[in-house]
Chain A
Amino acid sequence: MSLNLPSYPQPDGRGRYGRFGGRYVPETLIPALDELERAYHAAKADPEFLNELDRLFKDFVGRPSPLYFAARLTEHAGGAKIYLKREDFNYTGAHKINNCLAQALLAKRMGKRRVIAETGAGQHGVASATAAALLGLDCIVYMGAEDIRRQAMNVFRMKLLGAEVREVTSGTSTLKDATNEAIRDWVTNVRDTFYILGSVVGPHPYPAMVRDFQSVIGEEVKVQLQALEGREAPDAIVACVGGGSNAIGIFAPYAYLPGDQRPRLIGTEAAGEGVESGKHAASVAGGRIGVLHGSMMYLLNDDEGQIVPPHSISAGLDYPGIGPEHCHYSETGVAEYVPVTDAQALEALQLLTRLEGIIPALESAHAVYHAVGLARELGPEGIIVVNLSGRGDKDVAEVMRLLEMERDEGLLDKDVERVVGEVVA
C-alpha cells in the first residue's frame, strides 16, 4: 500500500474550521504561509514525495504501528474490549515523528536549509532534531527553561543529534513561550527558514497539514481493526489532547463519516489539579474563545485577554490552547472532550504498566484512564481504541519524583495497595 494523504472537507478556503482557526500573525509571515500552503498542496499530489514519505514511515519510523488488544486491561476494566494503537512503538518514542519527518521532507523540497521547532516535553524537539539529522538540515529547537529542567534527557538527545537547543526564559518558561520564541525567529528569518510546528495549532495551513500527516494513525486503525474485528470503526476512540495532534490523527479519518457510522470520539484534556482549582490545561472545559499563536481557539485567558499559564503533570499537554479543528468538533458535537486530572493520569500510568507491561507517556495515560471507565459504560459488546501516543521513558524520573512525594506524604501505600488489589481481582 502506498501512502495517500487524505483530503478532508475542513478547513474552508480561509483556513477556518467554523469560526476557529485562521491566520492571526504579523503580516511578515503571510507570504510565507501562502508559499507553504502552495508547496504543501503540490507535495501532497506528487507521487515522488508520497513514496519517499511512505518509505520513511515504514523503514525509519517502523510503521504501521501495532494495534494491540490489551487483554488484561480489558479484563480489569470489565466491559468493552480495549485496543491500544501503539504509537509508542514509533522510532523516537511518540507520534511526533510522523509529522516531523513529513515537514522536514517538505522543507527540503522547498529548498530551506534551516529548520526551527518548539518543544514542551521534548518529544517534538527530539523528532525534529532526528528528521533534520536524517535529511541534513540545520535545526534549532526552542524550549522553556522549566521544561529543560523537567526533560533533561531529551535535551541531551537533541544536542547529540546535532540540534541547537535555545533556552526560553520569557513568560512562564514553558511551551507557549517556546512557541512565541519560535514564531519570532521565523518572523526574523522567514526567507530561509522552515518552521516545523509540532501540533495542530498555529496559523493556517499548519493545523490542516499536521492533521493530514498524522492521519496515518487513524487510517491504519481502519485496516487493522477490519482484520481483527471485521469492522473499520470501533465504538469509541480515546486520545489525549494538548494541542491535539495525536488525537486529530486518529479522529480525522472517522470524523467526517455520517453520524451513525462515526465512533464516539473522545479527547481527554489535562485537568491538572482539577478544572475548578484553576491549575489545569483543559482549554475546552475551562477556557474561552481567544487567539494565540496565529489561531482562534478555546484558550485559557483572563477577562482582559492575558494568557493564563496552564498546568499539567505532563509537559506535553501543558499548553493553554487546543487546535481549531478540535474546537469545531467540540462545538458541533463531532467529538467530546473530557477532563482527566494529574492524579488520575498517574494512577492509569501505574495500572497499564502493571497489567500490560507498557509504561505509557503521562500524556497517553490521560486517555487510558478515561478508557477504563468508558469500557464499563459500553459493556462487553463494545470496542474501544486508545491512542497510546507515546512511551513513558521520558517521564520515568518525574513519575519517580511524584511517587516519592506521595510516599513522603503517606499517600502511596494506600494507592499501591488499591492498584495491586484491582490487578489481583
Chain B
Amino acid sequence: MTATLTRGAERIQAAFEQANAQGRAAFIPFMTAGYPTAGAFPAVADALLEHADLLEVGIPYSDPLGDGPTIQRASEQALAGGTSTRRTLALVKELRARHDKPIAVMTYVNPIYAVGPREFMRLAADAGVDGLILPDLPPDQDIEIADLAAEYGLAVTFLIAPTSTPERVRLVAEACTGFLYAVSVTGVTGAREGSALGEVPAMLALAREYARVPVAVGFGVKDAATAAQVAQVADGVVVGSAFINAIREGQDVGALAAEIARGCQR
C-alpha cells in the first residue's frame, strides 16, 4: 500500500470530513447501473447525487451472492437492458462530466478478472471513478487488486461484519483506503424491519480502534428514521435497496433521497 493518499481516497475522505464538520453523517446512496434502464439511469443518479456526499454505483452482475432479492432483480433487469461492466464505467464517465462529487463503484471480483485487473483499473480511472467497493474480496485474498487500484489513483473499500473477529477487523480496516464499510447485520443487502443498528455499536468500537479511514454502515437502512439511528454512531450511512424499491413502486427517488439525507443530520 502506498503511504500517500491516492486522489480517490483524498476525495472520498474529504467528503466524509465535510459532512461530519457540518454535523452530519455522510449520505451514501447506492444505485445499480443501468437501472431501471440504461436511458433512465442518469436521471436517477442525478437525483441521488443532488443529496449525496458520495454515490455508490453497482456493476450489475449475474450472480451477486452478497445481495438480497431487491438488488439481484435490479441487476437482472439492468443486464437484460445491456448494462454490464464496460457500460457501467461509461455511464459513470457521463455522470462525471456533470458532477464533482465522489463516485465509488461496487463490483464483485469476477468482472474485474474478466476485463483484466489492469485494464479494469485503467477504464475506471479514465471514467473518473474515485473508489471501489468489493463485497466478495476479503483483502487478504488478492493483494494485486488493491495495489493496482492505488496505482491508478483509486481508493478501495472492503467490508467488515458483526461476525468479524478483532484480528479480521484489524486486517480489513488497515487495508481500506477510502472508507471502511461495516455491514450492520449478518445477511445480504435489503431493507429490513426493525432497528438497523443491531450489532453495530460493538462492531464500530472495534473498527475505530484500527481504521485510519471513516467508517460507514450499510445493509438494512431504508428511511430517515433508520438513517438517523445509524448516523448517531457512524461516519456515513449507505442506503441501496430502498431506492430500488422506490423506483419499482414509481415513487420520487429525489424526494426519498432528500428525506434520508435529512435523517443523516446529527
Contacts and interface: CB of A to CB of B under 8 A. Distances in A.
Given A30-B164, A188-B186, A190-B186, A305 B65 contact: no
Interface string A1-41: 00000000000001000000011111111111000000000
A190 to B, nearest CB: 6
A183 B65 contact: yes
A27 B65 contact: no
A171 B109 CA distance: 18
Contacts of B136: 24-26, 291, 294
Contacts of B110: 290-292, 299, 301, 305, 307
Contacts of B68: 184
Nearest to A293: B65
Nearest to A34: B165
A415 interface: no
A294 B187 CA distance: 16
B186 A170 contact: no
B188 A304 contact: no
A377 to B, nearest CB: 37
Contact of A28 (B63, B69, B186): B186
Given A22-B141, A190-B186, A305 B113 contact: yes
B164 A31 contact: yes
Contacts of B113: 289-291, 296, 305
Interface stretch (B15-23, B91-99, B155-163): B155-163
B158 A27 contact: yes
Nearest to B182: A27
B186 A306 contact: no
B36 interface: no
A305 B163 contact: no
B168 interface: yes
Interface in A328-384: none
Contact of A306 (B84, B158, B164): B84
Nearest to B188: A184
A176 B84 CA distance: 19
Q: Secondary structure of the A side of the interface?
A: mixed
B62 A171 contact: yes
Contact of B141 (A24, A288, A290, A293): A24
A32 B142 CA distance: 20
Interface string B47-87: 00000000000000111111011001100100100001110
A72 interface: no
Contacts of B164: 27-28, 30-31
A288 B184 CA distance: 35
B69 A27 contact: no
B200 to A, nearest CB: 14
Contacts of B111: 304-306
Contacts of A46: none
Contact of B114 (A32, A188, A305): A305
Nearest to B160: A27
B188 A25 contact: no
Contact of A304 (B84, B160, B161, B163): B84
B86 A304 contact: yes
B238 to A, nearest CB: 15
Contacts of B142: 22
B138 interface: yes
A288 B115 CA distance: 12
A303 interface: yes
B127 interface: no
Nearest to B185: A188
A102 B46 CA distance: 54
Contacts of A26: 65-66, 135-136, 159, 161, 183
A180 interface: yes
18 contacts: A24-B138, A27-B138, A27-B160, A30-B168, A31-B168, A170-B69, A171-B63, A171-B76, A180-B64, A180-B65, A184-B188, A190-B186, A292-B63, A301-B114, A303-B114, A304-B86, A304-B111, A304-B114
Given A188-B186, A290-B114, 5 more contacts: A28-B164, A184-B68, A304-B85, A305-B61, A305-B85
Interface of A: 14, 22-32, 170-171, 176-177, 180, 183-184, 187-191, 288-294, 296, 299, 301-307
